[in-house]
Amino acid sequence: AIPAIELNDGKTIPQLGFGVWQIPNDEVGRAVAEAIGAGYRSIDTAQGYGNEKGVGAAIRDSGIARSDLYITSKLRTRDQGYDATLKSFMGSLDRLGLDYLDLFLIHWPVPAQDKYSDTWRAFVQLQRDGRIRSIGVSNFLPEHLDRIIGDSGVAPAVNQIEVHPEFQQRDVRALHRQHNIAIESYSPLGSGAALDNETIGAIASKHGKSPAQAIIRWHLQEGLIVIPKSTHADRIRANIDVFDFELDADDMASIAKLDRRDGKVGSDPATNNAIW
């Protein structure tokens, strides 16, 4: 079974899930079906990915009980603001065909819009109303976290940010520990780039595993929540087949040294105004 992480609101989240970024709506059903068949129970989508309908259909078709699934979505930037958030959230439930979400995240802070604090108050209300089990954020920098915690008195349960061996964010992660905010790693394989790293390759061979499996194992042993994405059935299965080996202290120390200042592969949260 996939281990669970306890969140600061008392709920739990599977430590390994399936991410569906960049999987088109007409392909996502097959990928989610493969993932659920392989044993994943946590699916991470977003309004901005345009594939909530496909995800919803696949989870209904899976026949898995709702209570055994963990479904995350994220609020798109243009729907930020108190009232807009309440309305937009209902749209996600409708497209997914669900009556609650396990986790809903503010996708990007977009500080230039100056709406993320009002948006967060709506998240707090939706959680009180029982429509969302856990509420969180994505791409929030420490200053954005401080603001919403200061304004609402409620810390997010998770912050989903870019973390992988070449961009480890150790200082940022230490700050999150002070509020007991769990970190979900996005682009856990560095969007694929970290797979070619020689050190990773050597560690993977030593354990008879693939580079992707070694990296996913690193996230798990770092206490991170990890949501690898793949559209290939063999990779979807391989990425969850990571509970029969363990990286040793030497492996972990070698990977710690792969952190690079310029290792970031995604957008900058301070300035991103993308459609997400």
Q: In whole angstroms, what is the distance from residue 96 CA to residue 72 CA?
A: 10
CB nearer to ligand A2P: pick between 113 and 231: 231
**Tokens read off for 141:** 């920098």
Residue 196 makes contact with ligand A2P by CB under 6 A: no
CA-closest candidate to residue 137, choices 169, 111, 114, 108: 108
For position 207 contacting ligand A2P by CB under 6 A, the verdict is no
53 lies in the site for ligand A2P, by CB under 6 A: no
Instruction: Tell whether residue 212 is a contact of ligand A2P (CB under 6 A).
Output: yes
Q: Does 96 bind ligand A2P (CB under 6 A)?
A: no
Coil/strand/helix, residue 104:
strand
Task: For residues 82 and 190, give the distance between their C-alpha atoms in angstroms, rounded to a whole number.
Answer: 34
Q: Residues 6 or more apart from 149 whose CB is under 8 A from it?
A: 155, 179
Binding map of ligand A2P across residues 226-245, x = CB under 6 A, - = no contact: --xxxxx--x--xx------
Q: Using DSSP bridges, classify how beta strands 182-186 and 158-162 pair: parallel, antiparallel or unpaired.
A: parallel
Q: Is 187 in the site for ligand A2P (CB under 6 A)?
A: yes
Question: Quick one: which segment of 62-70, 127-135, 191-199, 255-263 binds ligand A2P (CB under 6 A)?
Answer: 191-199
49 is catalytic: yes
Which of 49, 70, 116, 186 is labelled catalytic? 49
How many C-beta atoms surround the C-beta of residue 147 within 10 A?
17
Residues near ligand A2P (CB under 6 A): 187-192, 195, 210, 212, 228-232, 235, 238-239
Would you name the residues annotated as active-site residues? 49
